[in-house]
Amino acid sequence: MNGRVHKPNIGQEIPMTQTLLRIDASARHENSTSRSLADRVAERLRPAKTITRDLSEEVIPQLDAGWLHAMSTETDARSPEQHDRMALSDQLISEVQEADTLLIAMPIYNFSVPASLKSWFDMIARAGITFRYTENGPVGLLEGKRVILVIASGGTEVGSDIDFATPWLRHMLNFMGITDVQVVRSDLQNLDPEAAKARAEGDLAALAA
């Protein structure tokens, strides 16, 4: 199920992260490094509420002419069909706005982000809602949030010249006002799995609580 809400048992200690939005973008479920690392991060954060979006179970539509036309139409002037077209985008944005921490778990596919995650970002990057244009350039409207990126790869080194995923993610988040971004990576697994595990453990240990 997508958009699920989980609440902890009564008596659980109140965590620093009140509402966690978890996004999983791996096509794999079993033996998924990004999912297993994200589980550990979520357990450490102990949020009071978790909203989950599993992009392998839900098809986020790509932008098309109809969606762009609906988006550019004033809300009060939209037709019922246009309101329907914007409903998912509105819901995804609402989840981001509610969360104080975002946990985005993904593999690097062909040096970049999974297409499903790109579509998710396309749905939430909306002028006037998550960012706005000013005389001095765009300004993000999602300030005060924290993002933890969990990134796994087989042959791409995170932060290298062939990593087009991590810089793009940081840029998109910064563009929408989110500058507190931490990375937990298990990269180059196909080249040296033990070293990849060690990097992940080091990043987890360094992760601010």
Q: What is the pLDDT of residue 17?
A: 85
Summarize pLDDT for 56-109 with one digit per residue, the tens.
Answer: 999 999 999 999 999 999 999 999 999 999 999 999 999 999 999 999 999 999
User: Token pair for residue 21?
Assistant: 């939005």
CB 25 within 8 A of CB 116: yes
- Decide: 59 and 105 in contact? Cβ < 8 Å: no
**β-strands 101-107, 146-152 pairing:** parallel
Task: Please give the annotated binding residues, written as ranges.
Answer: 26, 32-34
Please report the pLDDT score of residue 208 as a whole number: 67
Instruction: Look at residues 195, 103, 101 and name the one whose alpha carbon lies nearest to residue 145.
Output: 101
Helix (H, G, I), strand (E, B), or coil: what is residue 20? strand
- Domains of the chain listed by start with CATH number: 4-206 (3.40.50.360)
pTM of the model: 0.91
Q: Give per-residue pLDDT as tens, 5-60.
A: 443 333 333 347 899 999 999 999 999 999 999 999 999 999 999 999 999 999 99
What is the rounded distance in angstroms from the CA atom of residue 54 to the CA atom of residue 25? 6
pLDDT recorded at residue 153? 98
Q: What is the pLDDT of residues 135-186, one digit of tens each?
A: 999 999 999 999 999 999 999 999 999 999 999 999 999 999 999 999 999 9
Give the SS3 label for residue 50: strand
Mean pLDDT of the chain: 92
Q: Known binding site for FMN: residues?
A: 26, 32-34
